[in-house]
A and B are shown apart, each in its own frame.
Chain A
Amino acid sequence: MNVFAVASNTLPAMRWQPLCRRADLVAFSGVVAWLETSAAQVALFYLPGHTPELYALDHFDPFSNACVIGRGIVGDLNGAPVIASPLYKQHFRLSDGQCLEDERVQLRTWPVRFENDHVLIEA
């Protein structure tokens, strides 16, 4: 079972597209959005007042093979913002998805930004 095999097909040309609204986000925590164009689950982390203040990472946790990343705890380690997986507690850097406990593992990330009240993703 790996739904993400689908998402790793050769991608169509990237474009900025609306994903959800600012009000859907939870400050200093994660929510998950469905990315129809890639059939992917995107975990969105919102850190108001920080730069950048929005991150998008793959919701799929390769250690547990389950979609849970967006439900972890947001924090920072040595100054870099991270998300801790709720199942086996590995940390992933929000900026590039790098796993801090295992250098071979990196989560997919997407460029995201606000436009007025909308969250846009480049995918």
Chain B
Amino acid sequence: MATKETLIIIGNGMVGHHLVEQVIEAGALARFDVTVFGEERHRAYDRVHLSEYFTGRDAESLALCDADYYAQHGVTLYSNVKVTEIDRAAKTVVTASGRYAFDHLVLATGSFPFVPPIEGRERPGCLVYRTLSDLDAIRDAARNATNGVVVGGGLLGLEAANALRGLNLDTAVVEFAPRLMPMQVDREGGELLKEKIEALGVQVLTERATQRIEQGEQSRLRIVFQDDKVLETDLIVFSAGIRPQDELARDCGLEIGERGGVVIDDHCRTSDPAILAVGEVALWNQSIFGLVAPGYQMAKVAVSTLTGGDARFGGADMSTKLKLLGVDVGAIGDAHGERTPGARMFRYLDPLTQLYRKLVVSSDGKKLLGAMLVGDNGVYDTLLQYYANSLELPKEPASLILPQQSGAAPALGPGALPDTAMICSCHNVTKADICRALDAGAQDLAGVKGATKASTGCGGCATLLKSVVDFELEARGVEVDTSLCEHFAYTRQALYDIVRVEGIKTFGELMEKHGSPGHGLGCDICKPTVSSILASCFNEPIMDAAHVPLQDTNDTFMANMQKNGTYSVVPRIAGGEITPEKLMVLGQVAQKFELYTKVTGGQRIDLFGARLEDLPAIWGELIAAGFETGHAYGKSLRTVKSCVGSTWCRYGVQDSVGMAIALEHRYKGLRAPHKIKFGVSGCTRECAEAQSKDIGIIATENGWNLYVCGNGGMRPRHAELFATDLDDEALYRTIDRFLMFYVRTADRLQRTATWRENLEGGLDYLKEVILEDSLSLGDELERQMQTLIERYECEWANALSDPEKLKRFRSFVNDERPDPSIIMTSERGQLRPA
């Protein structure tokens, strides 16, 4: 094979990283040796979610790939290394430590924040908002500060303002234009936005030009405006726009746009065909694209160009939907109606609910040219599809933005979308791509996400994606039959509601009232499901006569059946804390009943090989020693794993063991659609691996950060930050609501991670329901949880006190002998199945 060509990429930001991924995916590593230079200390991270650095995420969790991703694929990454020169004649790039030859070069240097040439802008406390290091600097400066000012009231400025607010600073935003976000909204929208933001306690000053920055009197700095009015502040974040980082390209004589930016053609080639440019540094057709999706598209095109393909970049839609300071803002296409002569506008303004919507429509009223939304982005997805696909508008376009009353235009169904409709712009996934994924075997939403990456970028398209997938599945006759099984034509969620609303207490009654006609017995799908629902609603002992035939064998015998028909026994060891006395009892019991002993991943001890007829005697001894059942056999709370926390560890900031024990006792016995695992870590070092659990809790100086919907196992998923700095009470309340909502709405055998991935509206929706109580369910969920907690009783203690229940723990109803087919052998000093 010929020697490989050398490809150098300058910039390891979002687009530079995507380029590497695309090179790898295209199999182009066979052809190129790839070297990447990144000026920042950190390897590529998710700049779009940069602000979450202040709300609990660290650099590692924002990283776009695992630490060894580059090395694993043989790509060389130099972080913290700046390229200082491109020598086009010699085809080399220069860094402080040497010269590197290239055959192909890609510039992915992004942009830098523009700081207007104001006198005093170099003073300490004058900062910008672009990189993790910038945020470190802001955090440092905020330590001894009481107030902060953001200069610039655009999109990023408002995001920075929110961050300052989060750092407990009195915050003001100064904007030169007469309104906030002048690029995206008009006067009415700007007014509304201003009102909403002021209501949050952020001061908004518009039409203010900053003249200079001086030493302050009460605060560290003082801003002097054009009219000599002044504003004192401890720190200033400049957010007055971004400029392409095109210095290297300028210095080596590549063609640069009038207002900056490296000029590229449709193939992402600069004026030197050996050099390509992608992302925010690139100027295409006189435009810079300050969003990540177009950058990703350029990266794809660049890989095609490098490998001899003919893909073209054709511009990108700059429509955006955001939540800024908790306020929905959306802008689609020509939101101002300035670009098309004869455009007509429809406006809807509701000063009470603080909602503003504007449509820009072609002169014949048939096509949507643009739209603007403030206060509620509910109709954004629908409008975007009308716009992006040039769909014909309904006869009365205004119906699209009027409040949904009877007679309002229905939302645009997925069937109306053409194949070319862009569903996920981050990963460039069209409706046709989704159909292809389904044809190739993807069976559900999760499958489509896996195959296409749709909705794994910013996640804004989650609702739309789900509706398209559902629609297409149905169209293919893949029954999106949501029936639980042949006995019940209901989803688990619907059955749950029926049971709760009608107060149905037995399987028989439910079958009689709501079972499919002609079926009487149920099956191994609906019986355990209904049993779990009944337990979630009423928490009656599962061994009660009416419930016995419903249970899986594990629930029937309250132990886990192993492959030879014996059972394993796992007593609860809350938080993993155990006294030496109890530890010895476990040893004695294991010895007496000849049980194989193993420590579990959930910080408990599993005793294997128990014979059915021995289970009551084993539990008799365990309960006498103060143990209770561990529910290892149930679809219910398993363990709350913890680290030792502040009690012993020099880094711990809270008592994680105490919290783990409290939580485990609070939720033990809670039956759910699937098992639930918790983790509690005493500091950000995260020794309890809480972020791989359904519920993860990490101590902070001020309380607890709550993470939800993580998973280990077959499909690992990091839990997502849900709420920060909760005190104990708020933590319990939030988890009460969260778990009860999961119990109510998840499918059978659906872990929280899958539930979350299939949840329409995603994490934002979940936050609205749980934290903001948007469905007014909060009290009810808490009450329900309280009832379940109060009704908890140890199932094994209950069974041991009832001779009828104990009758089942025999191998044979007519003979005392144990099952003669169970044969054990020994290995490493313990028994195991032969």
Q: Which residues of A contact B (CB under 8 A)?
A: 1, 3, 19-20, 24-29, 31-34, 36, 41, 44, 47, 50, 60, 64, 66-68, 71-79, 81-82, 84, 86-87, 89, 91
Contact = CB atoms under 8 A, between A and B. Distances in A.
B89 interface: no
B520 A76 contact: yes
Q: Which are the 8 A-B pairs with shortest beta-carbon distances?
A: A75-B523, A84-B524, A86-B553, A28-B549, A24-B813, A34-B815, A66-B565, A73-B524
Given A34-B817, A68-B565, 18 more contacts: A24-B814, A28-B521, A31-B808, A32-B811, A32-B812, A33-B812, A34-B814, A36-B815, A66-B821, A67-B565, A67-B821, A68-B561, A73-B549, A76-B520, A79-B518, A82-B523, A87-B563, A89-B524
Given A3-B821, A66-B821, A71-B556, A33 B815 contact: yes
25 contacts: A20-B813, A29-B548, A31-B808, A31-B813, A32-B813, A33-B812, A33-B814, A34-B811, A34-B814, A66-B564, A66-B565, A67-B819, A68-B553, A71-B561, A72-B524, A73-B550, A73-B552, A75-B487, A76-B521, A76-B523, A81-B521, A84-B523, A86-B552, A86-B561, A87-B561
Nearest to A89: B524
Contacts of B819: 41, 67
Nearest to B518: A79
For the side of the interface on B, what is the size category? 35 or more
A47 B521 contact: yes
B826 to A, nearest CB: 16
A71 B558 CA distance: 12
A3 B458 CA distance: 60
A66 B821 CA distance: 8
B834 interface: yes
B351 interface: no
Contacts of A89: 524
B775 interface: no
Nearest to B820: A3
Contacts of A44: 813
Given A33-B813, A33-B815, A73 B565 contact: no
A95 to B, nearest CB: 13
B522 interface: yes
B519 interface: yes
B808 to A, nearest CB: 7
A27 B820 CA distance: 26
A27 to B, nearest CB: 7
A99 B811 CA distance: 24
B486 interface: yes
A22 B526 CA distance: 27
A55 B551 CA distance: 20
A17 B524 CA distance: 32
Contacts of B557: 71
Interface centre among A36, A71, A91 (most CB of B within 10 A): A71
Interface centre among B563, B823, B834 (most CB of A within 10 A): B563
B635 to A, nearest CB: 14
Contacts of A31: 808, 813
Interface centre among A20, A73, A81 (most CB of B within 10 A): A73
